[in-house]
Amino acid sequence: QVHLVESGGGLVQAGGSLRLSCAASGRTFSDFAMGWFRQTPGKEREFVARISRYGGTTYYADSVKGRFTTSRDSAKNTGYLQINSLKPEDTAVYYCAADTSGRSIPYYAESRYEYWGQGTQVTVSS
């Protein structure tokens, strides 16, 4: 069982930055890869980024490449999503998720991840 708690969301102006945090507990931090997704009302949850168990490999959605950076700190059992150059279309609830099984499912699919946080709202004003 992995318990995830996101924080760091808020209201920012376009062009601004935020750093989202995802505090993990319940299992050894290096046991799982971590993903980030986002969702807006009426739409499916969308893959944003992923970081491997030890942080050596990252993946990003094309829409956020160059603006978003994911990282993780094993000493703090926390993953991060640094969001720069925010755009109004980045407005969404952002979720972190844990992949403990490494199943043969695409890393960008929701079903790859077994545990999810409650989400944190990011709102970007124009």
Q: What is the mean pLDDT of residues 7-15?
A: 97
Reported as type and span, the H/E element at residue 27 is none
Amino acid found at 101: S
Distance separating alpha carbons of residues 19 and 55, to the nearest angstrom: 17
Task: Indicate if the pLDDT at residue 86 is higher than 90.
Answer: yes
pLDDT at 101: 86
pLDDT at 102: 78
Q: What is the mean pLDDT of residues 80-88?
A: 97
Residues recorded for the chain: 126
Q: What is the mean pLDDT of residues 79-93?
A: 97
pLDDT, the chain, mean: 96
Going from the C-alpha of 99 to that of each of 68, 90, 114, 116, 126, the distances in angstroms are: 20, 24, 6, 9, 35
| Phi, psi at 117, each rounded to 5° | -80, 180
Nearest to 40 by CA among 115, 85, 94, 102: 94
pLDDT digits (tens, 9 = 90+) for 37-63: 999 999 999 999 999 999 999 999 999
